[in-house]
Amino acid sequence: MDSSVGSIDALILCGGRGIRLGHMTKNVPKPMLEVGGKPFLELLIEKLIEKGLKRFLLCAGYKGFVVKEYFSAFHRRGVEITVLIEETPLDTFGALINASPFVRSDPFFVFNGDSFCETDLGKMVELFNSDDVVGLLCVTQNAVEGGKEKGSYGAVVLDGDFRIVRFDEKGSAGESGLINAGIYLFSRKVFQFLKSVPSSLEKDLLPRLAADGSLRAFKTDGVLIDIGTPERIETARRVLRNG
């Protein structure tokens, strides 16, 4: 557990339906799909609690009542979980704007609710506090992928100072081979960059921050696991079974 992250809020994006998962998300949102005997979102939160995080804002949308009902029964000493349900789809950055009145810390973490990548959150905080960035994005060269999906992630391109200069489309390996690990640390200044909703974190905000020179990368050797497709969710289940 890293005590340096204990006072920092964690926003988790868990509002997506997961269209590529078809009938699997007919009754539940993608992050609530079962992996290892529990909803993936619960496994993610438990892992983040182990890392020292204590306050969570769950940004729910599609079938948000499922998230709210489930986590109303989730109790851990010293841990606070608030579920925010969008009345209309706001997209990924719109969800953060919607949650902004409830964010207490500066900076704050953001996690994708359908993926996990092992990283040192304490070191992310240290780097963030020593630099003039608005956002810090965790990147990795490692991802669990099936054969037909190889290279299905977009590439993150950096300069010599680890500033992110651009994002390449999916299928572009790029020289670095770095991909977005779905973990962010943002200053509250981020809300000044975009205020309209709906708006996308990946398509609207991150390119804007990169163009402004306000986005830096934090590299981890952790392996990215996500449940975005039927093949990936089966792979995640297999990885958990194998420890």
Catalytic residues, by residue number, are 170
Sheet holding 215-219, edge to edge: 80-85, 55-60, 10-14, 108-112, 179-186, 135-140, 215-219
Does residue 183 contact residue 219 with C-beta atoms inside 8 Å?
no
Quote the CA–CA distance of 13 and 192 in Å, as a whole number. 20
Helix boundaries (H) for 37-193: 40-50, 64-71, 91-99, 121-129
Determine the distance from the C-alpha atom of residue 44 to the mean position of all C-alpha atoms in its chain, rounded to a whole number.
10
**Burial of 148 by CB count in 10 Å (0-12 exposed, 13-18 middle, 19+ buried)?**
exposed
